[in-house]
Amino acid sequence: MPINPALAHLEDRLLGRIPLVIGATGHRDLRTQDAGAVRVIGVTHYSSSAYDDLLVAMRDPRVQAVQIPYNPGQRAVESKVLPMAADLGLGVIVMRPFGEGALLTSRVPAAALKPLAAFGIRTWPQALLKWILSDPRCHVAIPATSSVEHLQVNASAGDPPWLGPDERAYIAQLAGHSS
Ligand SMILES: NC(=O)c1ccc[n+]([C@@H]2O[C@H](COP(=O)([O-])OP(=O)(O)OC[C@H]3O[C@@H](n4cnc5c(N)ncnc54)[C@H](OP(=O)(O)O)[C@@H]3O)[C@@H](O)[C@H]2O)c1
């Protein structure tokens, strides 16, 4: 789970403190916090078609984190969800950082990653993870992997230095999704 350690408040909001993330429509489940069973409540949805509902759920004062898909090919959260999360001070967990693997199917040549070497980027998955974590509104990315080797590579993307707008635009271009 690559984490952007530059964000001090992350430790309060996320590290070791989210035992459970529940769905945006799971208001019934919010009551479990009253029973002391849950310390932090988050809301999530995987589809941009549900973001209007997600935005309503995010305003619930009991909610402290939101989990959304975000990668160079899925940027719908940039218009409303990420700005509101930042305004409300919510922790942001990014799922599907590789678009369920779709962003890893075309081979990005090593030469194309050379301009990103100063940022500790050696592989395309690292570039995609760092693209996410360099947005200060995003705190954690949760790539899925069945491989320990991939896990180690992915985890190394959680260290600074962070990318600026030019490098993020370059990676989006490499991914075939220029903004
Ligand atoms: N809350 C929700 O509604 C919700 C919905 C969907 C997903 N999720 C969560 O979001 C996370 C993302 O899962 P996801 O499967 O949807 O998409 P993903 O993380 O975008 O992509 C996973 C794919 O990337 C590959 N991969 C990972 N690291 C790699 C590396 N370093 N090099 C090459 N390939 C690599 C994996 O294959 P290998 O196994 O070969 O590494 C796997 O095929 C999961 O933790 C999932 O539980 C949550």
Residues, the chain: 179
Query: Highest mean pLDDT: which of 32-41, 55-64, 89-98?
Result: 89-98
Residue 17 has pLDDT above 70, yes or no: no
Residue type at 70?
Answer: Y
Residue 32 has pLDDT above 80, yes or no: no
CA 18 – ligand 1 centroid, Å: 19
Residue 156: CB within 6 Å of ligand 1? no
CA 100 – ligand 1 centroid, Å: 5
**Closest to 90 in 3D by CA, of 42, 30, 23:** 42
User: Which pLDDT tens digit goes with each residue over 88-110?
Assistant: 999 999 999 999 999 999 889 99
CA 31 – ligand 1 centroid, Å: 30
Query: Highest mean pLDDT: which of 61-65, 135-139, 175-179?
Result: 135-139
Residue 30 has pLDDT above 70, yes or no: no
pLDDT, residue 62, reads 85
Nearest C-alpha to atom 19 of ligand 1 is from which residue?
143
Which 3 state secondary structure label does DSSP give 145? coil
Residue 2: CB within 6 Å of ligand 1? no
Residue 91: CB within 6 Å of ligand 1? no
What is the spatial distance between Cα 46 and Cα 66, in angstroms, rounded to a whole number? 11
Confidence of residue 36 (pLDDT cuts 50, 70, 90): low
The superfamily (CATH) of domain 9-174 is NADP-dependent oxidoreductase domain (3.20.20.100)
Q: What is the mean pLDDT of the chain?
A: 84
Domain residue ranges in the chain? 9-174
CA 106 – ligand 1 centroid, Å: 16
Residue 142: CB within 6 Å of ligand 1? yes
